[in-house]
Structure 1
């Protein structure tokens, strides 16, 4: 059966943001060592398990690659990593209307990083399991697709275990940004479809609210070389030239700065202006009342 139709993960209901589901216990359970080091130097990852995710250390919020192919596992900077999707990942688009979102005719060969692991293909997921992140936030993060630069379209989708309808999370043919809400302590894998071989640059952003109400945001570019004939060096040297949307989570009420003891200058101005209007109105009422009383006295004297 095609890798496009036998992937397994739990799918949750989408809310205001599309929600990246938290998978059921199916081999994805993991705990990250808080002392894992950050490796230096370039790395080409073409087989094995890797995750994209945020890290929080000493007040510094970053996006890194958790490389589980290394022994012991390490974190890597995105600028040091190229994910290579070999031709072993080629699948053909199913002849099924449910997969029309792929944007290719049935039978078209495409490169697929599957949701369930293929030992011959790099297995790309994401997690919010860095111990520093879990200690610093309470709810989760917003994972944003900001843009894709490459020779073809990119689609990321989930397939439920009962072969239900695919749930599209990201689609490079749609407007950006494309946000996903990811709960804390989540580890998820999805299907990644690349329409054509070549170098892809995927701009991503992770935003969260810390326990103290502070907003943190990190942006990075994921480098992917699709196809055996695509030079890895081209992926390392490629530069994202497109424009990126301004994003970032909307601050919650707890994160909005409170005015100092002097109050807001605008509020003070409004109060002063309102007071002046009330004074003028009161004077006008008093003057008018005095005129009416004077006119009444004059009429009594005339009578």
Structure 2
């Protein structure tokens, strides 16, 4: 018994030494256990880039549990409420379906996610790429900007609205920025992201999004069912019209002998056939839509030769629609005001010179 106890003690001590050596040589402690917090409303900079000690770091900053609270990012769940379901994205080319939609401008009843790279500029990191190492989920994720006059602009380097594994979003200058987010299906989505700048790469953070109510009937299936029911009714009406056209019309004062039974059987068979055809049509459409979404989701984006992003080219226009950053977009206004002031001054001097000339 004594020897067994001593053996257990030696084994425990060796395990402790091994863990300590792993921490020393890798420089990283064991991953922290998530505390189970869920954010479903309020402002959060999901991708918060800073440089403590000059080291490029990716984390999260939020104003939900406090003001400017910085946290790892993988310790919370970003909840997209069922109330986010909207048909606003159905008319957008590149999306074309209703989605769980988080707008670019703040809605107090929904989560307002964005990103912030301003804190990294103190270490010389100004042009930053967000690299989406892996994106998973039951449906498609769309990310885009709404510019002036309602123009829709992609934010990924690939130039597409949907976000897939391997995509990159470039933030060309220090900014605090918000965009539109949309999710096509309810369920759990994950994004494993890292920041890159000046040849340096940050730590990876896996962000978890819980979209909609997974226990509720999927919105698309509801839509397909309704569509199928309408198609069934239309098919029934047409079929019934064709079936009854060959039958003599019964009089209001009496009934046809045997005709009612035969007509009822014919209409019943036609109705059953129409319903079955409509159900099959709805199922075929559903399978086709899901196949197309899967193919789009697995698309590997083509990398552009340069790092130019539409957002960086249209800062002024985007700012008018709710996009805001560190203040660089105020430069054109300052130049305009200065020019106007110089013009007024020049006119005043010219008038003064004219008056003196007359004297």
Bin the TM-score by the shorter chain.
0.5 to 0.7
The structure with the larger Rg is 2
1:100 matched residue in structure 2 = 93
Compute the displacement of 1:146 (Å). 2.5
Contact residue 62 and residue 218 of structure 1 kept, 8 A: yes
Residue 141 of structure 1, aligned match among 118, 125, 128:
128
Distance in structure 2 (CA, Å) of the matches to 1:95 and 1:174: 17
Contact residue 140 and residue 184 of structure 1 kept, 8 A: yes
Aligned counterparts, 1:139-218, within 5 A: 139-169=126-156, 176-209=165-198, 215-218=200-203
Distance in structure 2 (CA, Å) of the matches to 1:220 and 1:64: 7
Further displaced range: 135-144 or 87-96: 87-96
- CA change 1:172–1:79 in 2 (3 A) is farther
- CA change 1:102–1:88 in 2 (3 A) is same
TM-score by length of structure 1 reads 0.54
Higher strand content, 1 or 2? 1
Compute the displacement of 1:215 (Å). 2.1
Gaps of 5+ in 1: 1-39, 232-241, 251-303
2:204 matched residue in structure 1 = 219
Contact residue 114 and residue 191 of structure 1 kept, 8 A: yes
1:127-165: CA deviation from partner (whole Å, max 9, x where unpaired): 1022xx121125321112233111100010001032124
Contact residue 153 and residue 171 of structure 1 kept, 8 A: no
- CA change 1:208–1:227 in 2 (3 A) is same
Compute the displacement of 1:70 (Å). 2.4
Compute the displacement of 1:53 (Å). 1.7
Distance in structure 1 (CA, Å) of the matches to 2:100 and 2:207: 17
Distance in structure 2 (CA, Å) of the matches to 1:139 and 1:74: 22
Distance in structure 1 (CA, Å) of the matches to 2:183 and 2:163: 15
TM-score by length of structure 2 reads 0.46
1:88 match: secondary structure = helix
RMSD (Å) for aligned C-alpha atoms: 3.1
Indicate the structure whose relative CO is greater, using CA pairs within 8 Å and at least 6 residues apart.
1
Higher helix content, 1 or 2? 2
Contact residue 125 and residue 197 of structure 2 kept, 8 A: no
Q: Is the aligned partner of 1:45 residue 2:39?
A: yes
Distance in structure 2 (CA, Å) of the matches to 1:175 and 1:72: 32
Contact residue 43 and residue 63 of structure 2 kept, 8 A: yes
Aligned residues: 185
Further displaced range: 50-59 or 145-154: 50-59
2:74 matched residue in structure 1 = 79
Distance in structure 1 (CA, Å) of the matches to 2:39 and 2:112: 9
1:246-295: CA deviation from partner (whole Å, max 9, x where unpaired): x9xx9xxxxxxxxxxxxxxxxxxxxxxxxxxxxxxxxxxxxxxxxxxxxx
Contact residue 134 and residue 185 of structure 1 kept, 8 A: yes
